Structure 1
């Protein structure tokens, strides 16, 4: 579950442009007990197992014309055709889709337990070719074997128990190492906790966040390369069909496959039909449901807006959202985002922030956060601890509770009941940060729509209130 990360001393893995969870697997496989890696061997293995997309044609030539069996490390998803009963697979990285593939029954019986773990899974796939037969069926690329690359087992209870051995400050440093950052590179605890706030959508379902930050603070890296359960949309066009449901293909979009969707450099993203997208987003951000045609889409995916902001605009009392695409610049839509991360509190990436030493395997850690999403006990603890003032706005209450629940899962996963966490810790590390994140959203709403939101506050819970309830 741990791996030696030497990211400050070596740019070897950053030059490979591979996700951090793949990097950690490679380091786990090819390092000794002291973390030393033979980079020559690693380079040859990566070249052999992880070909680039533009090498796919030569791979097909080897498989089809050369009748070779070829092994590659990639992402695979499987499907069962209702009409034909055929079991097929796709390799999205190489644009190989189901109509061109086949998994024969005896291969399926051998590997289906691993392949059915999730909708998509990473592993070493062995590919071969089944030529057209006498029945004139088309030739197919077939799966010959599969090896899951995960080098550990996920034991969520063990992780929760292990947390008891750390102080909160020590645990914050553990979390930073797990996402490839050196805790010694931060000037204070506030910077560290602001950085870790980016993980809230990883650990709680349907957490919707806006983050505006200067360039170079690592937004794209964390949301795009840390977890296999997230999707980073960088620029270009986004359609309702791709995000929610494609009526022509009759397939669910991104919200059915990922824990979060992050719109990177959101100012550069356009929508094929802005009004259509806005309508779908309003319903989905509110309740996790939306209608496309006669189809009702239900998802657990959080939506994240990531944007760069000029130094002169880093003021929550000014209109920071004016540079957002018009589809997002509407108070009714912004109100459905739970919180705001003040990204200017996160330092620009520098060499001192690169992880150096033993740390949690990033793949293992993001799998843990993914599993924590299904644990409902933490929300029950939040419901017990948080006192709601009279006449509180329902969206504010839900936003704060949702963020607070995510914070508890992140910082205090070992807590089983309300009495397991001190009121000081709950207030300092969970409730107050959640309120602060929601408050910025409310201030922006008051600027954008002063008539509707100018006089509305947010629920506030004092330390005295917490102690009184506890007693």
Structure 2
């Protein structure tokens, strides 16, 4: 186990489970992840391998004996008849039979309908009335000819945590650093934290805010395959995922025919899957939804009803971000009825799904995370608390932003604070980081509304600190594609830049005549558009001896960075010239197989570049701290992070553009300083 796994087991005994076990026990049981983890928590919440193996066998045995497969429904019914009573795992929904004046249950997989269920059970578990809940139920069968109700529910228990100790949860959180806690939450969601960038981890956690913040309206649009619906279908028994095309006023709010309250009255989160691309939308539904999102109420005849369900709207985009910015807006995939400024203004945060990694096998973790049902109860408990004013001691939002903008920022900030700092112990820098991210998400919404509704004026988003210093906040797309993000403001600048580029292309001037940059260059975090060809190649041109000092040339992505730099040297030098490249790095000593991989990788790079005129030599040194490139032409380039300026990524697609175009890779924040002797 990793140090984090050990710490998690010690701080939360019996409440964490190895996340790869779900896949091992699922088999062909089509049940949500929280159901499987509920069972795993009973038998496998330990770090003892023998106990885990025995627990997996027990869970498999329970699923084999009690989970109802649709194709085996008749066999299960016959078993209940023969035994008289049998326990099953199935999704149970309840309706009121007004003719008989009783509640009756429906078992989804077993195919039973109209089974009487006592009113006390329904009152204790009202969510049975709104779409159904996964349960463990003991069913009895009454034989003979005279029985109107042959099927009898002897006992029923929803599959979720029995109790939650909030004080223990908050006290245990204090034992973890911020980075450790974020990694633990990331593992709980199912991903390996070492394969995700810090920003990508926060993006994953934003998906949890609707569970921890009341009346929170989140939209996430992005490419297919990024796991947008996973959180809402698998993670919590307090959330309901429905297809966007199945949304109706009676189902969501109230059925005026019988007065029955819809989903928003019973669930913490209602998520709309496949929300983008719908053709037909009920206009009355849009109007009621806008009112609910703004006022937290809806009407049932003359009665106004309040609810605290959060809403998450998730859908797929069909075009890349630059194309959307150049020709329409980032909401272009929404149905026409929702592509409306008044509706969009109710959204608190726009999660940029294009920044979330596409789900691949290597992203999944085999580490420990919370039993999701336990974390779901923690989030449900924290919904009643408000952390939205924590930043107010240190920062003030711009006076230009509207009340709705301010609410969006504050609710996102509150949700992230409760997720990461439930004990409220966050430094000023940590608070500022969450505040900036919260502002960015609301700014993304507002900037697109300004594109849609030309009567609205742009808003300057930012904040001031206690000294009165102003800080602008920009969205990531604004940083990546400034000439497209603000089309009108940047059109003249864009034309000027394009003219300058064309002039340079046609002038015939050699690249060597360009003035090389000197002094420090700050590279922002998570940016696009940087490459070794731009950062280093101009300064290395003409050198025949180059020394690279970098303590960390070990991991596969670090060795790839070295290879990419050597490629730029090969391209920049005359074909008949030999360039001596000497590497000074640290040796991998933590594990024998890792050490072998480092040596093999360096050897393969040497062999691959030798025929192209690179004489590569390597020196292993201890206690290296400096990171730099020096040349015999007098250049010394100080590397804040060494060559490791890009966030690591993995891809099963051999045609992934990031493998060949460094400009498509996200950066890490660092500083490169150019000195000329």
* Same-fold status (TM-score > 0.5): yes
* 1:288-309 Cα shifts (integer Å, max 9, x gaps): 1122443433221111111112
Counterpart contact for 2:239–2:268, Cα < 8 Å: yes
Match of 1:70 in 2: 86
Change (3 A) 1:119 1:326: same
Counterpart contact for 2:161–2:374, Cα < 8 Å: no
Match of 1:462 in 2: 464
Change (3 A) 1:117 1:437: same
* 1:372-401 Cα shifts (integer Å, max 9, x gaps): 11123x235356665344353111111111
Deviation at 1:16, TM superposition (A): 3.4
TM-score, length-scaled by structure 2: 0.60
Matching residue within 437, 443, 452 for 1:433: 437
Matching residue within 90, 97, 118 for 1:103: 118
Instruction: Find out whether 1:193 has 2:215 as its counterpart.
Output: no
Deviation at 1:6, TM superposition (A): 2.3
Aligned residue runs from structure 1 range 80-159, under 5 A: 89=105, 91=107, 99-103=114-118, 116=124, 119-120=127-128, 122-129=134-141, 138-139=148-149, 141-147=151-157, 149-150=159-160, 153-159=163-169
Separation in 2, partners of 1:95, 1:244? 27
Counterpart contact for 2:213–2:383, Cα < 8 Å: yes
Separation in 1, partners of 2:78, 2:301? 42
Separation in 2, partners of 1:302, 1:150? 20
Instruction: Find out whether 1:332 has 2:342 as its counterpart.
Output: yes
Matching residue within 423, 427, 430 for 2:428: 423
Counterpart contact for 2:278–2:334, Cα < 8 Å: no
Separation in 1, partners of 2:141, 2:152? 6
Change (3 A) 1:458 1:55: farther
Q: Which runs of 5+ in 1 are unaligned?
A: none
Match of 2:16 in 1: 2
Match of 1:371 in 2: 381
Match of 2:64 in 1: 47
Counterpart contact for 1:75–1:123, Cα < 8 Å: yes
Q: Secondary structure at the match of 2:240?
A: strand
Q: Secondary structure at the match of 2:439?
A: helix
* 1:289-348 Cα shifts (integer Å, max 9, x gaps): 122443433221111111112452367745121221122111110111111001121111
Change (3 A) 1:286 1:200: same
Q: Which moved more, 1:256-265 or 1:442-451?
A: 256-265
Match of 1:299 in 2: 307
Q: Secondary structure at the match of 2:275?
A: strand
Change (3 A) 1:203 1:250: same
Separation in 2, partners of 1:343, 1:312? 11
Separation in 1, partners of 2:369, 2:462? 37
Give the aligned CA root-mean-square deviation in angstroms: 3.3
Counterpart contact for 1:69–1:127, Cα < 8 Å: yes
Q: Secondary structure at the match of 2:216?
A: coil
Separation in 2, partners of 1:462, 1:53? 59
Separation in 2, partners of 1:331, 1:384? 33
Instruction: Find out whether 1:13 has 2:30 as its counterpart.
Output: no
Separation in 2, partners of 1:138, 1:208? 47
Q: Which runs of 5+ in 2 are unaligned?
A: 1-14, 471-677
Match of 2:222 in 1: 213
Q: Secondary structure at the match of 2:396?
A: coil
Q: Secondary structure at the match of 1:408?
A: helix
Match of 1:343 in 2: 353
Deviation at 1:205, TM superposition (A): 0.7
Match of 2:366 in 1: 356
Q: Secondary structure at the match of 2:53?
A: coil
Match of 1:449 in 2: 453
Separation in 2, partners of 1:140, 1:294? 42
Q: Which moved more, 1:151-160 or 1:176-185?
A: 151-160
Deviation at 1:269, TM superposition (A): 4.4
Separation in 2, partners of 1:209, 1:128? 44
Change (3 A) 1:220 1:68: same
Change (3 A) 1:293 1:269: farther
Deviation at 1:267, TM superposition (A): 2.4
